Amino acid sequence: MIGNQSNWAGNYTYSAARLHRPETVEQVQELIIRRSKLKALGTRHSFNGIADSPEDLISLEQFDQVMALDRERRTVTVNAGVRYGPLCRHLYREGYALHNLASLPHISVAGACATATHGSGDRNGNLATAVSAMEIVTADGEVSVLSREQHGEQFHGAVIGLGGLGVVTRLTLDIVLTFDMRQDVYENLPLAQLEDHFDDIVSSAYSVSLFTDWRSARFNQVWFKRRVTDGASSELEPELFEATLATSHRHPIAGLSAVNCTEQMGIPGPWHERLPHFRMDYTPSSGEELQTEYFVPRQHAFAAFHAIDRLREHVAPLLQISEVRTIAADNLWMSPCYKQACVSIHFTWKKNWPAVRKLLPMIEQQLASLNARPHWGKLFTMPPTRLQSLYAKLPDFQQLLRYYDPQGKFRNAFLDKYIFGAP
């Protein structure tokens, strides 16, 4: 293993023998030609073995430049090791924005897109939906460029590639004009209100997150992130579906200081300082958590909340916090939101894997009738056959991987198990 190196949370130790840090595309090509098993490693924020390789890992951390902004086409091209934090600052300075962000800005763009990482918002697809082109070094060492314009369905298969197509060296992303946002928090929303008003609540802002500790039948907090538009009223109702407007800044976990959270209380600010929950300049302490997330079709949102609520006694003691978000439908084959708008239920667990591992099958069973799909980069226990049955485009994705990587150079235990179904 690479000097006992582990992922961000420290719950997974990579088994690869070597970690390479190439500085040029030519060096990436050379490594790929010379090695028989390898895989790209991003910023190590996944909680499972998806980024591992039995032999060699390639980190693109030296590929950290934003390459070009195309104002006419409204795109930005970045080297694949770029993290969202620096990219957002660059775009903001130039008067542009990304359509959405995940909860923290420290992850790499390539790693996030490879696993369908997402933020929230009824009209916002996951972060990979912004990819319009990608440069990738494939198993034979050749550099290929795939684009939405030219490669149609193949492109839709390649974007959420789970690291299986090769090493992505460059990405082009759609951008929009910069915008300001405000963030407001309401507290103590009864679960029962979501039966009739879930759509009203999540559609009422650009991005909405609901947080609960599942200790009672209520959501502790609802975070509304709204675009600030000229002339829009800044006055908010003190009460919303029985939830009350918070009177000071809040951390999603009750009792923790909000000092590291992005500004709330309706204070306007730039998009990249409101879309994530945590400040860009705050480095989260590595480690003391595990994460799981399931996506269910949007129309089953309340049934899914009810299903988890039935397990409240089991869930609450192991939980730090749970977050509900909405994600728009997309066309990307391996997206949990392929052709269906979804609601996601995320769990930040205390770091007690033996107990969490026992609980996950119970949650998966509760959500099975709703066709819940797990997040590719988080922890789950669903059997591979079940997972495979949930992806209509899986056979096409298998074929795509075989086409780009006939010898299985970029295959690892995770892909063998969940994509190719090895026992």
Ligand X SMILES: Cc1cc2nc3c(=O)[nH]c(=O)nc-3n(C[C@H](O)[C@H](O)[C@H](O)COP(=O)(O)OP(=O)(O)OC[C@H]3O[C@@H](n4cnc5c(N)ncnc54)[C@H](O)[C@@H]3O)c2cc1C
Q: Which of 20, 44, 373, 393 binds ligand X (CB under 6 A)?
A: 44
Q: Is 88 in the site for ligand X (CB under 6 A)?
A: no
Q: Does 167 bind ligand X (CB under 6 A)?
A: yes
Q: Residue of minimal CB distance from ligand X? A: 111
**Near ligand X in 225-284, by CB under 6 A:** 284
Task: Please identify which residue in the block is written with the tokens 């996601």.
Answer: 344
240 vs 298, which CB is nearer to ligand X? 298
Residue from the set 91, 114, 337, 387 that interacts with ligand X by CB under 6 A: 114
Is 38 a residue that touches ligand X (CB under 6 A)? no
| 42 vs 374 by CB, closer to ligand X | 42
Question: By CB under 6 A, how many residues form the interface with ligand X?
Answer: 34
Which of 111, 121, 157, 252 touches ligand X by CB under 6 A? Answer: 111
Nearer Cβ to ligand X, position 169 or 240? 169
- In 3D, which of 262, 260, 269, 266 has the Cα closest to residue 97? 269
Which residue lies nearer to ligand X by CB, 240 or 377?
Answer: 377
377 binds ligand X (CB under 6 A): yes
209 sits near ligand X (criterion: CB under 6 A): no
Q: Quick one: 240 or 321, whose CB is closer to ligand X? A: 321
Phi, psi of 340 (to 5 degrees): -150, 130
For residue 130, the minimal CB distance to ligand X (Å) is 14
Q: Phi/psi at 280 (nearest 5 deg)? A: -60, -40
Residue 60 engages ligand X in binding (rule: CB under 6 A): yes
Closest CB 48 distance from ligand X, rounded Å: 9
Query: How far apart (Å, rounded) are the C-alpha atoms in residues 234 and 228?
Result: 9
Based on the shown chain and the rule CB under 6 A, indicate whether residue 115 belongs to the binding site for ligand X. yes
Q: Identify residues 316-375 at the interface with ligand X (CB under 6 A).
A: 375
Q: Is 28 in the site for ligand X (CB under 6 A)?
A: no
125 belongs to the binding site for ligand X (CB under 6 A): no
Q: Residue 352 Cβ, how far from ligand X at the closest point, in Å? A: 17
Please state the three-class secondary structure of the chain as a single string.
Answer: CCCCCECCCCCCECCCCEEECCCCHHHHHHHHHHCCCEEEECCCCCCCHHHCCCCEEEECCCCCCEEEEECCCCEEEEECCCEHHHHHHHHHHCCEECCCCCCCCCCEHHHHHHCCCCCCCCCCCCHHHHEEEEEEECCCCCEEEEEHHHHHHHHHHHCCCCCCCCEEEEEEEECEECCEEEEEEEEEEECCHHHHHHHHHHCCCCEEEEEECCCCCEEEEEEEEEECCCCCCCCCCCEECCEEECCCCCCCCCCCCHHHECCCCCCCEEHHHCCCCECCCCCCCCCCCEEEEEEEEHHHHHHHHHHHHCCHHHHHHHEEEEEEEEECCECCCCCCCECCCEEEEEEEECCCHHHHHHHHHHHHHHHHCCCCEECCCCCCCCCHHHHHHCCCCHHHHHHHHHHHCCCCCCCCHHHHHHCCCCC
Q: For ligand X, which is the closer residue by CB, 42 or 252?
A: 42
* Closer residue to ligand X in complex, CB, 38/240: 38
Judged by CB under 6 A, which of 99, 118, 182, 409 binds ligand X? 118
Q: How far apart are CB 211 and ligand X at their closest, in Å? A: 13
Phi and psi dihedrals of 187, rounded to 5?
Answer: -120, 150
Interface with ligand X, residue 43, by CB under 6 A = yes
- For position 39 contacting ligand X by CB under 6 A, the verdict is yes
User: Does 110 interact with ligand X (rule: CB under 6 A)?
Assistant: yes
> Which range in 111-119, 221-229, 240-248, 262-270 contacts ligand X by CB under 6 A?
111-119
Q: Which is nearer to ligand X, 103 or 220 (CB)?
A: 103
Q: Does 8 bind ligand X (CB under 6 A)?
A: yes
Q: Within a 10 A sphere around the Cβ of 106, how many other Cβ atoms?
A: 17
Binding footprint of ligand X on the chain (CB under 6 A): 8-9, 39-46, 50-51, 60, 80, 102-104, 107-108, 110-112, 114-115, 117-118, 162-163, 167-168, 284, 291, 375, 377
